Amino acid sequence: MSKLIYEKKGHVAYLTMNRPEVMNAMDAEMYRQLSEAWVEVRDDYDVWVAVITGAGDRAFSSGADLKSYIPSADDPSNRARFWQTQAENLLNRGLEVWKPVVAAVNGYCLGGGMTLLLATDIRLASEKATFGLSEVHRGILPGNGGTQRVVRQLAHAHAMELLLLGDRIDAAEAYRIGLVNRVVPPGRLMETANDCAQRLCERAPLAVRAIKEMAIRGANLPLADALRLEETMQLALRQTDDAREGARAFAEKRKPRFTGN
* DSSP type of residue 83: G
Q: Which one has a higher pLDDT value, 232 or 70?
A: 232
Measured distance CA(117)–CA(174) in Å, rounded: 12
Residue 76's pLDDT band, with cuts at 50, 70 and 90, is low
80 pLDDT exceeds 70? Answer: no
87 pLDDT exceeds 60? Answer: no
| pTM listed for this prediction | 0.91
Give pLDDT tens digits for 227-244. Answer: 999 999 999 999 999 999
Measured distance CA(198)–CA(192) in Å, rounded: 10
Alpha helix ranges (H) inside 84-204: 112-117, 146-153, 156-165, 171-176, 189-201
The domains of the chain, with CATH numbers, are 4-201 (3.90.226.10), 205-252 (1.10.12.10)
CB atoms within 10 A of CB 132: 22
72 pLDDT exceeds 70? Answer: no
Of the candidates 8, 101, 19, the one whose C-alpha atom is nearest the C-alpha of residue 68 is: 19
85 pLDDT exceeds 60? Answer: no
Give pLDDT tens digits for 133-186. Answer: 999 999 999 988 899 999 999 999 999 999 999 999 999 999 999 999 999 999
Measured distance CA(61)–CA(54) in Å, rounded: 6
Measured distance CA(148)–CA(47) in Å, rounded: 28
Query: Phi/psi of residue 253, each to 5°?
Result: 55, 50
Measured distance CA(200)–CA(189) in Å, rounded: 17
